[in-house]
Structure 1
């Protein structure tokens, strides 16, 4: 009973660790796979420490369970890490059953890799694939036959069936718990993304932008690094809505968001600031660099054509540029400086870029 309670507790602990790794490292695929491989490997080693003798030289444990589940729930890298860690642990323990133990571990890992290749990852959110993986992984008991036949047959006869049944039960229990945890984490991620993204354009929304600019300004000041901000406004956007309808306006917003997203670096943040206004946060970018980018974006938008109901629509944008400085060293002052530059760009004729007047001489690029 003590071993059974310990096994159940280990499964619960692994499920908790699995959810934590997915949440903490969800945006870092390589680190997530490494973390999951270490977690499954540690779980297998911990299972060996709770083994129960069922026959001379034969021990009942669930070390094969984390190894088999590593590939479906962690990926190929996690599977190799887990199998390597558990096999190393079994070698360190030594004894007459070392070779059968390592062979069984490798068989379990191979079963998990095979099933992960054959079954799409989305299917592992349910329990159905587990009923195929469990009996396949139970074949790890065949590792006993790595011993001489005279020793292997009695050991398999007396202990092979309990080990196989324990492996099947462990995979069904832990796999079901991991699948449920993955669904929970995925649901939370979808809800979080929905709360921080604009439903029409898919860009970050105003709430996400303010959270990001607070972090980026604090980081830039701490590292003494440059940072710039662009505020863009679609010129005469109300006329598009009035003349063509809101569907046409939505099409323009979607097309513009695509142009902006493709025109910046991966480290830059493009957000829909509100209505027809957009903001682009540019870490590690000076005012001059931000101005050149703004010019490229302005030209790209001007050349863009949006097809809607058989008509080709085109729009222009006015852009205000600001950068961190002694006068604009806080998020609110940085936004205000870019907003004032945007106002000047619109008042000087639109379809142009203006920089923060406090940092340099006012410049407006004429329309060519």
Structure 2
């Protein structure tokens, strides 16, 4: 009897699904956020490998431009689906009927880039500077970054983006809203030193490149929404596993102006943002959307989160129509009247035994999944605080640990030294031997600092070719002796890159609490000034504040 009921429910669901798919639009229009490039690889893969066609969908992909933006195209009905960034949530909270289907990038590639010779090295250096933002005053991630640092947006000269990166190179603006997957390639190609200001370093971590649609599409074509989402995610998995094939496709069919080397750079940079080996592509955590909504309110872009409900798409199949339950219950009572009591209990008993076995199997899967989730959580925690190239701690972790160490030093009365290290003539290494060779040198210095660190020391990659070590319970004289040992050891060793041996030196600046400074910011500034004197004094030397 229960088996019959289940069959009826499945039949009803199939009928409903067929009814939904019976009258799809002849062509689905999909709107990209920008020009054709590897950033949208999954959609090309879904189209060209036939994943959309397998779902019964005919799809046209449209490139974006300043005058053709995803939210406007979907709201106007010119596209049924599109990809966008945080502006999707912003418009939803303003009352627009948009629904997020899948987050492709778990971390946003959107950063501010400044020329190194501008003197901009942190969010605080943006005060009084000309900063171009892609969406003017609606760039919530950057506005939240400023507010987190106690900076009013009115203190920064925010300009709407010209979409012309030459405005940064020519000095027309001081910082430009860019993608980690794109503009750094241009700068390195032109040998322009630059600084990246990443909102993630200031506790702002948004989703990016989000597949979305309208409430009307979800309501009127639920099966099509599921099919489009399913085929798209299949395309993204394929693209991440076959980047070279997608690059060939972009160059041959889509007329992409970027070089193969640029597209390869873009593909490699995207992996650390999509995290396809750690997180299921498209995963969305409602808590992170809530955090983003909080940021919009904090930035003064919206007044309420009331419209957030229903914004995150639930991929589970919709419930059966309301008429199904009473009709099937009536049928069940009619059939039950003609069944014998003995036969009924035999079938129920068999069903219970089957359910018991299924529960045991489900419990075993749950235990295994929890173990996988725990391992994944640990991996993500490691990624959040470590530099991927050297394995040392990153700038974000340094900011946290230095504040904690100083607070403990104040309570317990011991010194804390900070050593800031910079590789000498590192640009010449990159120019002469290439960036891969430069990476080898950075890794070699990272290994030396890790091996020389005491238990409790905190070695970090500060950014580029700069490193910082926090040395708790170490006075200035001892810190200087330690720094001289590192300097001599690194100068004596050679870094191998293929058949080449690369010799490089480093300069070190030191500052110590409480003699030189009493705050984290003061210690870093003091160490930086000392490092500058070491560079000015001929390099390959140690100077103290």
With structure 1 as the length reference, what TM-score do the two structures score? 0.49
Greater relative contact order, per chain length (Cα 8 Å cut-off, separation 6+): 2
Q: TM-score, normalised by structure 2?
A: 0.34
More helix per residue: 1 or 2?
1
Higher strand share: 2
